[in-house]
Amino acid sequence: MKKLFLFSLIFLITRQLAAQRAMVDFNGGWKFYLGDDSTASQPGYNDNAWRQLDLPHDWSIEGSFSEKHPATFNEGALPAGIGWYSKEFTIPETSRGKQVSIYFEGVYKNSEVWINGHYLGKRPSGYISFYYPLSPYLKWGKEKNRIAVRVDNSAQPDSRWYTGSGIYRNVWLITTSAIAVDHWGTTIATPRINNSSAAVAVRLAIVNKSGKPRPITVQLVVSDAAGRRVATKTTAQLTVQDSVTDLSDVLTVARPQLWSVRKPVLYSLKTIIRSGGQVLDVCETPFGIRSFYFDAAKGFFLNGKYLKILGVCNHHDLGALGAAVNEKALERQLRLLKDMGCNAIRTAHNPPAPQLLALCDKMGFLVMDEAFDMWVKRKNRQDYHLDFEAWHKKDLEDQVRRDRNHPSVFIWSIGNEIREQFDSSGTRITRELVNIVKGLDTTRPVTSALTENIPEKNFIYQSGALDLLGFNYKPEAYPDLPSKFPGQKLFASETGSALATRGHYDMPSDSARRWPPDSKGPFTGGNPDFTVSAYDNTFAYWGASHEAAWKAVKKYDFIAGLFAWSGFDFLGEPVPYQWPARSAYYGIIDLAGFPKDVYYLYQSEWTNKPVLHLFPHWNWTPGKSVDVWAYYNEADEVELYLNGKSLGVRKKEGDSLHVMWRVPFEPGTLKAVSRKNGHTVLTKEIRTAGPPAKIRLVADNKRLKADGKDLLFVTVGITDANGIPVPTADKEVRFSLNGPGLIAGVDNGSQTSTESFKAPRRKAMNGLCLAIIQSTRQAGKLVLTATADGLEPASLVVESK
């Protein structure tokens, strides 16, 4: 009897689990062909000669740099073109009668999809997520299905920055019962919050594709971060028709823990649909409990407390990895920004990868979720303006549906520097776009990043539809904004556009450089080697130094915060230069993920942890006059010493955020000591390095996860015989890797290097380069060895488990 009971229980559990949704990683086992073949979508097509790979994949980053590529240096000087992907797979008989769909998080661009020769559709946008139902066209059991995807990024130029090409985000195979919560069919809001309780308002869209009405009950379960149930509610029985049924309810969470940038507490909502005792669907949605508002005079408040928005703008590429999304690489970027004191991200200028938003939820970042870089009026011949009229509504709706449950998302942006600001069509389109957003989410403000700050000239503002006004640049105009735009809530949606090459310094440092000085033709000035000084004194004509831009925002409470341009260098848009420059100089952090000096300006201002950053390096020609800067906080003053001799004490004067000494160079040790009330806070030393002698490898983690996705970022430094970093070293470093892993990319942060990101070698740039190691699905020991002519080699051992 016990055995029969146990068998029955196992059968019941198995049956119920089989009925629930499955979201399967569909990234493995694809084939790829770079080129075009009009027959590649047909059943029986022979793709045996195609390359085998796993997704996400960006074929452009694998190519060679050339000024002749149609995408031009403004898009990274890498190839684009047309590519095909295919995959064979089986669907078990147990899934017959269920709803099977394929979910693409992003394909750049003009993707077309076929299943077993049946055309599913086209999606022009390269940034939006989308899905297709597969069930009507599937074969079941042992018969193989074949999905084919054509990606067309051949029409160029189509962007102002590097886009990548291919299925560069994740793909999922989703199986649900015929009755289930619709895709993006859960909406969660927290309209009432106090210390004792929070109301969690839930709206569901439940689809019934069974072909007949059916009675169901819906159970809602809220769990805290530890998995404990904190609220539950079950509906009375209702009948779902052969359509979409909307359901709304409110749960109460006692003593809620609020999501914030300092303590990003997450909850989860589990929706369980039952019928006749059978579980039809279990859908889980993470969310956070928080409230916020903007005040026209006082700025931004999160959970009732004042918070200055300390943000950066980021494009979507991941340096040497290109556009191919990797969660570990995104996490590394966010960790660097978090340590700097950053608390907000602007997704410039497109819908981001879902993984970025999930990480921002988890790590405590606010997100300005941006939709478009252009509307009807183009910025490039082949850009999204060609598709705006036909696709903007669908794309914007899908973005809001996908992202509206993320607690990190606090602003919707419908555009960046849109050219319709300057004619009456801007008023009409703004109202339409805002209405689209508000039709799906009324809990967040809508903005557009504006450039025109004269009200009568700005037709987007004149629409009266925006909840917030974000202004790009022009900090000198901030004092007049409240009078020009009375009652409006304001923030600096883009600031800076300061330029720097990590580790490069031009003297003197105390004069501003506008590179380029205007928009009149190509810039012919600058440095012959296409470098820009890292002293934070060089910026584009429309911008300002990081220091000046931040001071302007810091000064006024009515400016709710800023998004600095940009958090990281990115591929493309190499202002002020043209080819052979192929990536940006704007970043606070370089393309390889190495902080530039200005990183410590922000860290000294945006954090309370003690900071003392001394620069530049101390390898110069004897007698040369060198400007020595220090960023510091939590101290009254800094004293500088050279070889034990004091060069004087400096204190920040006025609103200056750094101190400076002009020092004739002599070899030895430069030392800075910061003090508060006469007591030492921090001490920093920079020593003159001898000739390059050794390689030093430092990994950002001690182990890898053997999942085929995990990454290890290895900083490769060149030192002298005593271990002192050599700041001018440019040796080529060669890499070999033994064990279950691969070298996913190499970089050095140079904006002009035409070396391949995928080669097992890289020249150091100002003493540093980077190797990125990726795990496989096999566990074992990996050994990375780095060698260079004339240098003592180095090895690094790591376990992949």
Give the pLDDT of residue 216.
96
The string of DSSP codes covering 321-339 is GTT---HHHHHHHHHHHHH
Give the pLDDT of residue 6.
39
601 and 610 Cβ atoms separated by less than 8 Å:
no
For 19, residues 6+ apart whose C-beta sits below 8 A from its C-beta are: 177, 278, 279, 280, 281
Among 500, 531, 122, 63, which Cα is nearest to 323's? 63
Give per-residue burial for 288-314: e unless 16+ CB within 10 Å, then b: bbbbbebeeeebbebeeeebbbbbbbb
Cα dihedral sign for 772, 776, 782, 785?
A: negative
- Please give the average per-residue pLDDT across 33-40, as a whole number: 97
| Predicted confidence (pLDDT) at residue 19 exceeds the cutoff of 70 | no
Confidence of residue 9 (pLDDT cuts 50, 70, 90): very low
As annotated, the active-site residues are 417, 494
Confidence (pTM): 0.96
Among 543, 544, 513, which Cα is nearest to 526's? 513
DSSP element (H, E) containing 555: helix 546-555
Radius of gyration of the chain (CA): 28
**CA atoms of 91 and 93, how far apart (whole Å):** 7
Give the pLDDT of residue 465.
98
Confidence of residue 761 (pLDDT cuts 50, 70, 90): very high
Confidence of residue 258 (pLDDT cuts 50, 70, 90): very high
Confidence of residue 1 (pLDDT cuts 50, 70, 90): very low
Which of the 8 DSSP states describes residue 93? Answer: G
| Predicted confidence (pLDDT) at residue 39 exceeds the cutoff of 80 | yes
**CA atoms of 628 and 35, how far apart (whole Å):** 53
- Please give the average per-residue pLDDT across 473-489, as a whole number: 97
Q: What is the pLDDT of residues 585-629, one digit of tens each?
A: 999 999 999 999 999 999 999 999 999 999 999 999 999 999 999
**CA atoms of 422 and 534, how far apart (whole Å):** 36
**CA atoms of 145 and 165, how far apart (whole Å):** 25
Q: What is the pLDDT of residues 423-468, one digit of tens each?
A: 999 999 999 999 999 999 999 999 999 999 999 999 999 999 999 9
Confidence of residue 20 (pLDDT cuts 50, 70, 90): confident
Confidence of residue 569 (pLDDT cuts 50, 70, 90): very high
- Please give the average per-residue pLDDT across 737-755, as a whole number: 97
**CA atoms of 83 and 577, how far apart (whole Å):** 31
- Please give the average per-residue pLDDT across 219-244, as a whole number: 94
**CA atoms of 123 and 131, how far apart (whole Å):** 10
Long-range contacts of the stretch 283-286 (C-beta < 8 A, 24+): 283/21, 283/180, 283/181, 283/185, 283/186, 285/186, 285/188, 285/405, 286/358, 286/361, 286/405
The string of DSSP codes covering 198-234 is EEEEEEEEEEE-SSS-EEEEEEEEEE-TTS-EEEEEE
217 and 309 Cβ atoms separated by less than 8 Å:
no
**CA atoms of 661 and 649, how far apart (whole Å):** 9
Confidence of residue 242 (pLDDT cuts 50, 70, 90): confident
